[in-house]
Amino acid sequence: MTTAPAIELKGISKSFGPVHANKDISIRVMPGTIHGIIGENGAGKSTLMSILYGFYKADAGEIFISGQKTAIPDSQAAIAAGIGMVFQHFKLVENFTVLENVVLGAEDSGLLRPSLARARRELKALADEYELNVDPDAVVEDIGVGMQQRVEILKALYRRADILILDEPTGVLTPAEADHLFRILENLKREGKTIILITHKLREIMDATDTVSVMRRGEMTATVKTSETSPQKLAELMVGRKVLLQVEKAPAQVGKVILDVKNLNVTDEKGVHRVKEVNFNVRAGEILGIAGVSGNGQSELLEVLGGYEKGTGTITVNGQTIDLTGAKSDGRSRRERGIAHVPEDRQREGLIMDYHAWENVAFGYHHDPKYQRGMFMDNAAIKADTLEKMERFDVRPPDPRLAAKSFSGGNQQKIVLAREIERNPDLLLIGQPTRGVDIGAIEFIHQQIVALRDQGKAILLVSVELEEILALSDRIAVMFDGRIMGERLPQDTNEQELGMMMAGMNKGEAA
């Protein structure tokens, strides 16, 4: 007897105005498997999954669940059909507890207490079965992103999901958290759950999936068994050309010290000491990579250097001291000193999502004389400049009038990069440059960073991706608990040693 697919989509099409997000897509996902879907940003992956989850209604096509034709007009119908979805940007109420978030929308009755009591029992059973341990009474805003992701998975399982869709699940996770996630997915698969994994990370596809489907520009280009393909073949199917999976760069031609940081300390608004006696420098023509698990002071370091946060100590740029007290410490003063900043979270700190692309390109640089016409801003000049930047940075679609929220994550990142890199800064601060970005855009972004370094600029790179740190950096500093644990040259170290330093250990202690 032939087993029916857990999911079968036939002839799915969806357009948003003139943009064809999905074009006649058909796909079969077998039960009890992990099925990967990859493609460039804007390829239509998330749109397709949003149709399956009931967020969008397809213009044409049919959905079959376990062989039965199923209408999914909304997310409630998807949940009733046994489908759960974990979004790239979590859908949690931050000031609610884990337990309250799990129950929210799935209460037994108007009485909350019995629902919470039953949920507590079920949560413990699910946590034990799938390695999803999390404190049910913890407030979501007080737990890390890895734990928050577990809460999202628990929400889906609590609602009896047999099919679980994960959209870029490791975009905000450390390597250790990602490894734990894939152990969880393997446990779910063994229990007969069906997993759809949307990711741009080819290593994850090769390690975790049974089958992989490739999308390009709204169309399904191939579906293959993972064991019968390679990262190089998948990258070429995604992008439509051969892709360099390694960063090509010449040896650094190092010049004078651009950024010098001495005895930097940062204490947050809650009185927690986040950065502790940090010392380092960055020279012209080099990339200093800062490695570390999220939450060990890297974000606060970037915020102080970018003018968003106060600190104590001494920071000089091109020999001039920067004010850290807040009196003259802001983003504009930093930009005037030749500092550009690509923040870690493009949606919260890099863009105003409801504003047009052209408004976001002027964001922070609206005092530029070329953007002025007398006493007013020259909107036509800004739009023309934005279009030029979009074309140079391959932003798709290249339409300055679209709101930032209308672009995919990778194209949002390109807008921020274009705004900052095109300003020809002496020092570029860049946090998580390729978070949630596809393989083709990663290659492009890495090339832009290396090109800026080769122009003699100083670059401070913060990333939780050790592969990225090792590939791009000329020197690597590791942060743990707000301190610099030490520096290494990429050619003299490896992921294992850096991982130990990220955990607060040196070689002797680890041994």
Omega before 397 within 30 of 0, i.e. cis? yes
CA 251 to chain CA mean position, Å? 29
Max intra-chain CA distance, the chain: 77
Pairwise CA distance, residues 163 & 327, whole Å? 54
Any bridge partners for residue 403, and if so which? 356
b/e per residue 22-50 (b: at least 16 CB within 10 A): bbebebbbebbbbbbbbbbbbbbbbbbbb
Cα–Cα distance list, 351 to 294, 338, 343, 422 (Å) = 21, 20, 10, 16
The pLDDT value recorded for residue 1 is: 56
Q: Report the Cα–Cα distance between both ends of the chain, in Å, rounded.
A: 55
The pLDDT value recorded for residue 511 is: 34
The pLDDT value recorded for residue 22 is: 94
Element (H, E) at 251: none
Task: Give the residue from 261, 239, 438, 248 showing the smallest Cα distance to 339.
Answer: 261
The pLDDT value recorded for residue 328 is: 62
Report all structural domains of the chain as residue ranges with CATH numbers, in order of start: 7-239 (3.40.50.300), 257-348+424-510 (3.40.50.300)
The pLDDT value recorded for residue 107 is: 60
CA 377 to chain CA mean position, Å? 33
Nearby residues of 79 by Cβ (< 8 Å), 6 or more positions away: 159, 161
pLDDT of 242-301, one tens digit each? 766 678 899 999 999 999 999 999 998 889 999 999 999 999 999 999 998 878 899 999
Pairwise CA distance, residues 71 & 54, whole Å? 9
Pairwise CA distance, residues 501 & 79, whole Å? 43
For 77, the token pair is: 């119908």
3-state DSSP call for residue 72?
A: coil
Pairwise CA distance, residues 123 & 127, whole Å? 6
For 162, the token pair is: 């047999």
Cα–Cα distance list, 160 to 257, 318, 322 (Å) = 58, 59, 55
Given a contact cutoff of 8 angstroms between Cβ atoms, the answer to whether 276 and 481 are in contact is: yes
pTM of the model: 0.71
- Secondary structure (DSSP) of 158-196: HTT-SEEEEESTTTT--HHHHHHHHHHHHHHHHTT-EEE
The parts of the chain modelled with pLDDT lower than 50 are 508-511
Residue 328 half-sphere exposure toward CB, CA atoms < 13 A: 8
Pairwise CA distance, residues 236 & 494, whole Å? 28
